[in-house]
């Protein structure tokens, strides 16, 4: 299989590339920038460019069997600052992509959505895929709209679509700029002897999933003959206060966070029901939070020391 990975130089994308290569797939990556934490891999065809570059995209799709879409220009905390940019940077390029796929051949798409934002404030715990989509931030609204366009393309033109609604992802190679990825941000700050911040009282509950587990699910989705939406989480909830307790054990020293006022777009609790992905795709997350934190901390220390 020849796969085009859009956003393959990013945090999640680099691990999806690794998983696809390990399975013997031929990989081409479209990204606006190179990987941050490692050199280009010799057996990957890297193409520098933007998803909005339609002529370039047509050429890239011509010999692809499937597409994995992982790119995003926003994160939940920044999307509300400029919703127009969120729409133009994410929704519009996706609509162009599916049009280009219709014209140039590949009829299979794996799309990384957001299990933490598309549901809004859940009325079920854990949250199943049939839960209504009621996002309360622009990031979630645009992700939901992207899903709707994909399902329209499936209905009208037969595109095989697998949407992965991912939980809060973490692990090695995650960016540490403080915009997304509380685990990466906390560990980076602690390694630099900087304070960490908690928005609210620490009671917010999230579902944390290691990046290699989502990469494995992406690979399974590429080989599946089904379409539909699948939650991608650990199936377990961890409050921010509990997370800080785990981090204390990982780093082996006291951790005293600074508390800031809570944010209106932060959903109080999201834990994903992953039974559908387990039953249909044969996938189960394998890296527990304690193991994942230890690995991420080890990578963080080695990265900062280099």
pLDDT at residue 179 above 60?
no
> At a CB cut-off of 8 Å and minimum separation 6, what does 88 contact?
none
Helix (H) or strand (E) holding 169: strand 168-170
- Crossing angle between the packed helical segments 182-191 and 289-305, to the nearest 10 degrees: 50
Mean pLDDT of the chain: 94
Q: Which of 119, 139, 170, 186 is catalytic?
A: 139
Instruction: Kindly state the tokens that stand for 125.
Output: 């715990």
> pLDDT tens-digit profile of 109-123?
999 999 999 999 999
What single DSSP character describes residue 43?
T
> pLDDT tens-digit profile of 68-103?
999 998 888 778 889 999 999 999 999 999 999 999
Going by pLDDT thresholds of 50, 70 and 90, the confidence category of residue 178 is very low
Is 139 annotated in the active site?
Answer: yes
pLDDT at residue 267 above 90?
no
By CB neighbour count within 10 A (0-12 exposed, 13-18 middle, 19+ buried), where does 22 fall? exposed
Q: What is the pTM of this model?
A: 0.96
How many other β-carbons are positioned within 10 Å of the β-carbon of residue 131? 19
């Amino acid at each position: 299989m020849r796969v085009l990975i859009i956003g393959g130089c990013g945090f999640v994308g680099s691990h999806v590339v690794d998983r696809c290569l390990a399975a013997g797939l031929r990989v081409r990556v479209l990204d606006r920038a190179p990987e941050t934490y490692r050199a280009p891999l010799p057996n990957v065809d890297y193409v520098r460019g933007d998803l909005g570059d339609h002529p370039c995209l047509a050429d890239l799709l011509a010999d692809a069997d499937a597409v994995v879409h992982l790119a995003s220009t926003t994160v939940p905390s920044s999307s509300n600052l400029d919703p127009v940019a969120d729409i133009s940077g994410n929704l519009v390029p996706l609509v162009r992509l599916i049009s280009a796929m219709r014209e140039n051949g590949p009829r299979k798409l794996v799309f990384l959505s957001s299990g933490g934002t598309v549901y809004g404030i859940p009325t079920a715990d854990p949250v199943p895929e049939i839960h209504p989509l009621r996002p309360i931030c622009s990031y979630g609204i645009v992700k939901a709209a992207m899903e709707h366009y994909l399902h329209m393309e499936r209905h009208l033109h037969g595109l095989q679509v697998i949407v992965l609604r991912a939980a809060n992802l973490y692990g090695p190679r995650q960016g540490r700029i403080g915009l997304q990825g509380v685990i990466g941000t906390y560990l980076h700050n602690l390694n630099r002897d900087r304070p960490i911040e908690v928005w609210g009282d620490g009671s917010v509950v999230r579902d944390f999933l290691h990046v290699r587990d989502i990469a494995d699910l992406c690979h399974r989705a590429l080989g599946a003959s089904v379409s539909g939406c699948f939650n991608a989480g650990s199936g377990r909830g961890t409050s921010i206060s509990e997370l800080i307790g785990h981090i204390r054990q990982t780093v082996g020293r006291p951790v005293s966070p600074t508390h800031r006022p809570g944010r209106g777009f932060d959903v109080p609790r999201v834990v994903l029901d992953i039974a559908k992905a387990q039953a249909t795709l044969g996938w189960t997350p394998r890296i527990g939070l304690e193991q994942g934190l230890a690995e991420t901390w080890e990578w963080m220390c080695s990265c900062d020391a280099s």
